[in-house]
Structure 1
Amino acid sequence: MFLSTHEKQLDAKRRLQAPQEFRTAENGAVTGLYCFPSIEADCLEAGGEGFVAAYRAFIDSIPFGDPFRAAMESQFYGGLKQLSYDTAGRITLTEALVERGGLTSEVVMVGLGDRFQIWDRARWREHEAEQRKLAQQAMREMGEARRRASLAVRGEGG
């Protein structure tokens, strides 16, 4: 799994050191990564073979001819780049990826389980604060829903 948050430097040649724990057979990323401009946030999304398989399965679940499928295909397949590691374990992002991801020299790689995101550091800090508030809200609301369901099962009302 892609775990943790790593602050990194993007050099002048757009090279980025991939954390050692991101370059594993379990991640499907031993020889390189796949990367594309994220659909859900202003960053890049990346991962190994499992990451690509998950998107393929999602896209394939949408009927052929559906405009949502066409949009997903163009955004995922049209933006996807296969990036190999150099001898130092770095990937080189294309100019288009750097531009679309809004990246500067200071980036953050955020593990999300079967994938990870690459953010501009300043943009990540803003997004992370929003995500924390949303996660806290989800924890409260989901906890309350579970409590009500538990009381209902026991016949205690709510």
Structure 2
Amino acid sequence: MGQGVFLSTYEKQLDAKRRLLIPGDFRTAENGAEHGVFLFPSIEADCLEAGGDHLFAVYNEVIQSLPFGSEERSALEWQVMGEQVRLSFDSGGRITLPDHLCLEAELSGDVVIVGLNDRFQIWAKDKWMARRAEQRRLAKAGLAQVAKAKLEAQIKLAGGGA
């Protein structure tokens, strides 16, 4: 369980040369990141998104499934392929983040690396704290909806509903 995916949250320090230690369990053959990662500005949030070869394959498949020349395909090609950098690990397991990506995501000093299954995100700590609170609120509401739907289904199956 948990093999080949990015799990957990790590607080790290970005040094003056923009080097960031990537957790050892994020640098495995199982998740396609044993030699390095690819990185680009996140499409969904104010952070950087990263992953190994497996995530790259997922994005490539999505892009290839869209009609050539469509707005959606072009936007994804631009964002994922055009903005992407490939970063290798140094002997200590660190990557050096490009200056322009650090500026875009407002990264310096304390950062947070968040594993999200087939990808991970790199956040400025203050932005991560706000996002975490928002995600927790959404998760609670979503879980409550699921519980309510299950209860309604059980009542209906038991003959107590219309």
Q: Bin the TM-score by the shorter chain.
A: over 0.9
RMSD, aligned CA = 1.2
Q: Which runs of structure 2 are paired with 1:1-20 in the superposition (5 Å)?
A: 1-20=5-24
- Matching residue of 2:71: 67
| Map of 1:120 onto structure 2 | 124
Shift of 1:11: 0.6
Question: What percent of counterpart residues are identical?
Answer: 51
Cα distance, 1:153 vs. partner? Answer: 3.3
Q: Which amino acid aligns with 1:116?
A: F
In the aligned structure 2, how far is the partner of 1:7 from the partner of 1:34? Answer: 20
* Aligned residue type for 1:68: E
1:148 aligned residue (140, 147, 152): 152
- Distance across 1 between alignment mates of 2:85 and 2:24: 20
**Where do 5+ consecutive residues of structure 2 fail to align?**
none
1:108 partner amino acid:
V
Which stretches in structure 1 are left out of the alignment for 5+ residues? Answer: none
- The residue correspondences of 1:55-134 to structure 2 (distance < 5 A) are 55-134=59-138
Structure 1 CA distance, aligned partners of 2:26 and 2:47? Answer: 18
Moved over 4 A (4+): none
**Matched letter for residue 60 of structure 1:** Q
The alpha-carbon deviation at position 149 of structure 1 amounts to 2.4
Note the alpha carbon deviations across 1:129-148, whole angstroms, 9 max, x for none: 00000000000012212222
2:55 alignment partner in structure 1: 51
Q: 1:155 to 1:63 in 2, by over 3 A?
A: farther
* In 2, Cα distance between equivalents of 1:144 and 1:75: 38
Within the alignment, does 1:29 sit opposite 2:33 as a pair?
A: yes
Q: TM-score, normalised by structure 2?
A: 0.93
1:139/1:73 CA distance change after superposition, 3 Å: same
Offset at residue 154 of structure 1 (A): 3.5
Deviations for 1:85-126, whole angstroms, at most 9, x for unmatched residues?
011110001111111222121100000011000000011001
